[in-house]
């Protein structure tokens, strides 16, 4: 259990590095596209003055910025969707696994003739192996 937990920080660090690199390349691509749009837009305004104006160029750039912002808002939802899909597949795999115990076999096994009495638990303590100093429950 402790060995499995020791891998978690490394996974988080790798995830952070990948997310950072993706953010860098995303911002770089956006910068390149808008630089090209400004350069080509001013070229069109100079050469084909009747069809284009600075107002149209600004309108196109604002529309592109707005679209880019909207698409960036989708990314966190896609990440959560991917996490939920991975968790769901594990849960459904566990649920569909065939049990070693036949729950429908009511006539098999030993059965006590009668059962009466009490079960009393005292001084029961439980801790997780990863945090032995923090008790979970005292009874």
pTM above 0.85, yes or no: no
Residue 132 CB contacts under 8 Å (≥ 6 apart), including other chains: none
Q: What pLDDT is stored for residue 21 in this prediction? A: 93
Assess contact for 59 and 51: CB atoms under 8 A. Answer: no
CA distances from 43 to 49, 56, 58, 60 (A): 9, 13, 14, 15
Q: What pLDDT is stored for residue 138 in this prediction? A: 57
Judged against a pLDDT cut of 60, whether residue 118 lies above it is answered with yes
pLDDT in tens, 64-107: 888 888 888 888 888 888 888 888 888 888 888 888 777 777 77
Alpha helix ranges (H) inside 48-138: 54-96
Tokens standing for residue 25: 């390349």
More confident position, 125 or 77 = 77
């Amino acid at each position: 259990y402790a060995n499995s937990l020791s891998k978690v920080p490394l996974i988080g660090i790798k995830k952070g590095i990948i997310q950072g690199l993706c953010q860098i390349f995303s911002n770089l691509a956006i910068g390149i596209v808008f630089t090209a749009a400004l350069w080509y837009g001013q070229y069109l305004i100079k050469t084909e003055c009747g069809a284009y104006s600075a107002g149209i160029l600004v309108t196109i750039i604002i529309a592109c910025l707005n679209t880019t912002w909207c698409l960036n808002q989708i990314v966190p939802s896609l990440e959560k969707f991917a996490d939920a899909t991975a968790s769901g597949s594990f849960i459904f795999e566990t649920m569909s696994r065939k049990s070693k115990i036949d729950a429908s076999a009511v006539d098999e096994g030993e059965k006590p003739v009668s059962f009466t009495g009490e079960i009393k638990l005292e001084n029961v303590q439980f801790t997780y192996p990863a945090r032995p100093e923090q008790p979970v429950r005292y009874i």
